[in-house]
């Protein structure tokens, strides 16, 4: 297992277009998280899944954002009608909640630029 992977690594889109990002977590991990990071800030929580269930969404996640994790494996994050304020690094992380280990392992991120 090579860790958390994300695709694409970079995405440039025009305002108003829809974009979809994919995250493949570490295979045995049951929790998957999405964060967003803007320049000069730390990552901010967006949403997380335990297996296929989406258990929490941040108020940062407007109606234009939707996330899925079918079959509890990979996850997708879709942004509809993108705005310039959506430009950020979108990070995915996974963890295995059991046995006292709670660290989240991050992927390389998808950098979104909305023009």
Partner 1 sequence: DQQVKQNSPSLSVQEGRISILNCDYTNSMFDYFLWYKKYPAEGPTFLISISSIKDKNEDGRFTVFLNKSAKHLSLHIVPSQPGDSAVYFCAASARGQNDYKLSFGAGTTVTVRA
Give the interface with partner 1 as residue ranges (CB under 8 A): 4, 6, 31, 33, 35, 40-45, 48, 56, 91, 93, 95, 97, 102-109
Cα separation, 66 vs 26, whole angstroms: 22
Nearest approach, Cβ of 81 to partner 1 (angstroms)?
26
Residue number, 79 or 92, with CB nearest to partner 1? 92
84 vs 98, beta carbon nearer partner 1: 98
71 Ramachandran zone, left/alpha/beta (phi>0; psi -120 to 50): left
Which token pair is 60? 């940062």
Cβ closest to partner 1, residue 48 vs residue 114:
48
Task: Tell me how far, at minimum, the Cβ of 77 lies from partner 1, in Å.
Answer: 15
């Amino acid at each position: 297992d090579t860790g958390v992977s994300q695709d694409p690594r970079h995405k440039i889109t025009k305002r108003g277009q829809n974009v979809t990002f994919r995250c493949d977590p570490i295979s045995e991990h049951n929790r998957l998280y999405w964060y967003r990071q803007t320049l000069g800030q730390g990552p901010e929580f967006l949403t997380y899944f335990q297996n296929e269930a989406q258990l929490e969404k941040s108020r940062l996640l407007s109606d234009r954002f939707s996330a899925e994790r079918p079959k509890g494996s990979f996850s997708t994050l879709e942004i509809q009608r993108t705005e310039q304020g959506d430009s950020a690094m979108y990070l995915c992380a996974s963890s295995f909640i059991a046995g006292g280990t709670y660290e989240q392992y991050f992927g390389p991120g998808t950098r979104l630029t909305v023009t």
